Amino acid sequence: MNRRDFLITTCVAALAPRITLASASFELVAQPVNAQILPEGDPTTPMLGFNGSTPGPVLRARQGDTFDIRFLNQIGEGSAVHWHGMRIENAMDGVPGMTQKVVERGAEFEYSFRAPDAGTFWYHSHNRSWEQVAKGLYGPLIVEERTPPDVDHDLIVMIDDWRVTESGALADGFDNRHDQAHQGRLGNFARALVEPNTPVRRGDRVRLRLINVATDRIFPIKLEGIDGKIVAFDGMPLPNPQGVSNLILAPAQRADIIADVTSADQIAFVFPTRDDPYLLGEIPVEGVNTTRQPSEVPALPPNEQKQPDFDNVVALTLTMQGGAMSRPVSTQTDIWAFNGQSGLTDTPLHRFERDQTARIRLMNDTRFPHGIHLHGHHFFEVGADGSLGAFRDTTLVGAGETRDIVCVFHNPGKWLLHCHMLGHQAAGMKTWVEVA
């Protein structure tokens, strides 16, 4: 554990959000920033951020409210913002070349969408995402329940890694093909960024909203100093909260945890590595809460879901191919493929009728794990016994593993389906579907 405390600093004051009753209006300015991602005393890192900081500001509204977001692009190259995990209308999905034109340098774009689901989401650039997200273009997007659970603190924990040089700059080589053919761009420095970073008391009940915002790294996470349950994955409540041991977050995945603080010292987020456990971050504990009565961790109120129609199922297979130590995919320029096809094709992988149920077999025929993400929808992970598991937007499929997912394609439009190891996406591991 070789890390001193530091905070993400802002070089420009964040613009205050103007909040009205049922609409949350924000101005989101993408621009260069200097961030103190290395420990205090070490140099700052030139990066990209929103409203002067990376991560960008917390965008927060109540379930059913409308987010009105004016996006201004001042990064000097094209960009666009994707609202990851939000089941919103297609035109607001933020995918250049598919749902909108790229927002050119100096230009702006108005995003407006109603938040159908309560939960923990995030936003990030979807243009050259493997580079722009690695440089810091992301932030948390929180939709509160109409009746939020009773907690003393609601804390966002973003877990990231960066590849930093001796002088504190981000290392170049965002398109490095060796990285892309393996696990992607892995950082040499990792942190859990807690927002807001305030002390809690022993005996407090906390909600922790963990988000893996790294471009490529899968984080197993051990939590110390608390006793509690995972209540949601990828924004969607679990009907039965589950234990926090063996928590693994692939890039883009989230876990909401409700827990009681048991340590008198700190809550720690630990990344167990092969050598030593690596302390990603901590929340200080000061004082004692003597009034809170012990109680079970409650399940969160469910979001709406359409039930799959198992009598009329479209069955598809998506085979992941390519990468290092596998047979090369047929194209000259790409490294990864789905079903023999790299990158986006003119025709979708499949055209669904609206509300059609599909069972998609995800077969990982490569030497690496992949975190497969579907836009505009959540899907059920199917367990080994055939039962429906968590309702997620990103599923981690280990090397050589096969997992079925079941999805009701309820949301009309053109939706990406890609690996959220962004270096893999850059190197061909993406496709799209269309819902009539």
Q: Which does 60 bind (CB under 5 to 8 A by kind): ligand C2O, Cu ion, none?
A: none
Q: What are phi and psi of 175, to 5 degrees?
A: -100, 15
Minimum distance, C-beta of residue 328 to Cu ion, in the bound complex (Å): 16
Are 75 and 31 a contacting pair, CB within 8 Å? yes
Give the nearest distance from C-beta 84 to Cu ion in angstroms: 16
Q: Is 370 in the site for Cu ion (CB under 5 A)?
A: yes
Quick check: 191 binds ligand C2O (CB under 6 A)? no
CB atoms inside a 10 Å sphere around CB 84: 25
Residue 379 CB neighbours (<10 A): 25
Tell me which of ligand C2O, Cu ion, none is bound by residue 424, counting a contact when its beta carbon lies within the kind-specific cut-off of 5 to 8 angstroms: Cu ion
Contacting residue, 159, 421, 422, 433, with Cu ion by CB under 5 A: 421
Phi, psi of 90 (to 5 degrees): -55, -40
Residues 401-430 that bind ligand C2O (CB under 6 A): 416, 418, 420
Site for ligand C2O, residues 202 to 261, rule: CB under 6 A: 252
Q: Quick one: 311 exposed, middle or buried, by C-beta within 10 A (0-12, 13-18, 19+)?
A: exposed
User: Judged by CB under 6 A, how many residues of this single chain contact ligand C2O?
Assistant: 10
Q: Is 87 in the site for ligand C2O (CB under 6 A)?
A: no
Q: How far apart are CA 68 and CA 21, in angstroms?
A: 12
Q: Which residues contact 326 (CB under 8 A, 6 or more apart)?
A: 365, 366, 367
Residue 368 CA to chain centroid, in angstroms?
Answer: 19
- Is there binding between residue 419 and Cu ion (CB under 5 A)? yes
Angle at 391 between CA 389 and CA 386, to 5 degrees: 25
**Residue closer to ligand C2O, measured from CB, 135 or 420:** 420
> How far, rounded to the nearest angstrom, does the alpha carbon of residue 224 sit from its chain's CA centroid?
22
Task: Say whether residue 82 binds ligand C2O (CB under 6 A).
Answer: yes
* Number of residues near Cu ion (by CB under 5 A): 4
Strand duo 153-162 + 205-212: pairing: parallel
Among ligand C2O, Cu ion, none, what binds residue 247 when CB lies within 5 to 8 Å by partner kind? Answer: none
For residue 406, give both structure tokens.
Answer: 């079941």
Q: Which residue's CB is nearer to ligand C2O, number 126 or number 191?
A: 126
For Cα atoms 210, 120, 343, give the angle at the middle one, nearest 5 degrees: 90
Pick 170 or 211: Cβ nearer ligand C2O = 211
Q: How far is the CB of 373 from ligand C2O (least distance, A)?
A: 5
Check binding of 163 to ligand C2O (CB under 6 A). no
Residue nearest to ligand C2O (CB): 84
**Contact residues for ligand C2O, defined by CB under 6 A:** 82, 84, 124, 126, 252, 373, 375, 416, 418, 420
**Contact residues for Cu ion, defined by CB under 5 A:** 370, 419, 421, 424
